[in-house]
Amino acid sequence: MLFLVLILGIGILTTFTDLQNKKIYNQHLVIGAVAGLIVTAYSAWRHEHVVFHIINGLVAFLIGFLLHRSALWRGGDAKLFALYAFLMPTPVYTHLLFPCVVSLFACSFIVGCALLMPIFIKDIIVNHKTIADGLFLPSERQALFKAIARIIFSSWILFPFYYLARITNPVIILTIAYLFFSWGYDVKKEVKKNYISDFFKNEFIALSIGIIFGYFMRLWLSPNSLSYPALTRYVIMITLSSTLSTCIHVVLTHLKEYRDRVPFAPLLFMGCVLSYTPFFTGLMNLVTRWNVLFSH
């Protein structure tokens, strides 16, 4: 209960300052952190689990740091995200890894999409030519090809292990695919005319080993994955992964322009409050039902 009172107090204060002055003041975050440590110490004295709060706060701090280094969040937004994750009580859906972090991030993102997506879509439509021209520059086309090739290559090898580890959640699979996409997305000033043929020539040995390795791993761990329906689902997933990864890349690049225009404090506050409604539980149940589409 004390944690929820702190969240409400910090949420109202930071929302007010962010909307009025476009700032999240460090002194307010420090006050919230100190009060949170006091409540945590009190909870420890009452023999309640406090490691949960500490781990979620550290994980959220790492995520916020990465988003800040990617120029998507300001420093205050990243610190407020970590503070909320630290203060959030244990939710009911504890089967998730770092449930507070996942819930806070997902709900804040959904709130942001609901409120800002109309403006964002309008901005993309108005500036579609500039965005399209930037995406299809020769250097971007070369980077895009390599990133998609990285998804195809990595997915062929990883899919048998997904079956072995019983990973059928499409959100997890698409997230892993996007990580490989980002790893392969390397924009270079020097653009080769025959970069596609050069890519296959330079990577022929690695590609051959990967294809053979993936085939035998599928044959050993999951022979059913070589059936026509399974390969069809694999092609669908690759197409979806490549399309979504490209869209996410364009969106994230465009979102950097919004970093100093969007007040993230109210979005994080509403996301934190929304985490403790049936909304997120219903969302997780919906995602779980999607697994049927990608199961054997």
Q: Which of 150, 155, 141, 166 is nearest to 236 (CA)?
A: 155
For 13, the enclosing helix (H) or strand (E) is: helix 2-21
- On whether the CB atoms of residues 91 and 283 are closer than 8 A, the answer is no
The whole-angstrom separation of Cα 221 and Cα 162 is 10
For 254, the enclosing helix (H) or strand (E) is: helix 228-255
Would you state the pLDDT for residue 104?
84
96-105 long-range contacts (CB < 8 A, ≥24 apart) are 96/284, 98/55, 98/56, 98/59, 99/56, 100/52, 100/56, 100/60, 100/275, 101/56, 101/59, 101/60, 101/63, 103/275, 103/280, 104/60, 104/268, 104/271, 104/272, 104/275, 105/63, 105/81, 105/271
The whole-angstrom separation of Cα 140 and Cα 35 is 48
Would you state the pLDDT for residue 296?
45
Which pair of tokens denotes residue 135? 């995406």
- On whether the CB atoms of residues 20 and 70 are closer than 8 A, the answer is no
Question: pLDDT 10s digit of each residue in the chain, 296 long?
Answer: 677 888 888 989 999 998 888 888 889 899 888 888 888 777 666 555 677 778 888 888 988 888 887 777 888 888 999 999 888 876 545 556 677 787 788 788 888 878 877 877 777 787 777 767 766 777 788 888 888 998 998 889 888 788 777 777 676 788 788 888 888 887 777 777 788 888 888 888 988 999 999 899 888 888 887 888 888 888 888 898 888 888 777 777 766 666 666 788 888 888 888 877 666 566 656 655 555 444 44
**What's the predicted TM-score (pTM) here?**
0.62
> Apex CA 24: angle with CA 18 and CA 28, to 5°?
120
**How far lies 156's CA from each of 63, 204, 271, 290, in Å?**
28, 16, 36, 21
- On whether the CB atoms of residues 54 and 85 are closer than 8 A, the answer is no
Domain-wise residue ranges, the chain: 2-116, 127-256
Would you state the pLDDT for residue 212?
93
Would you state the pLDDT for residue 90?
64
32-41 long-range contacts (CB < 8 A, ≥24 apart) are 32/6, 32/83, 32/87, 33/83, 33/86, 35/6, 36/3, 36/6, 36/83, 36/86, 36/87, 39/2, 39/3, 39/6, 39/87
Within 10 angstroms of residue 104's Cβ, the number of other Cβ atoms is 26
Would you state the pLDDT for residue 285?
60
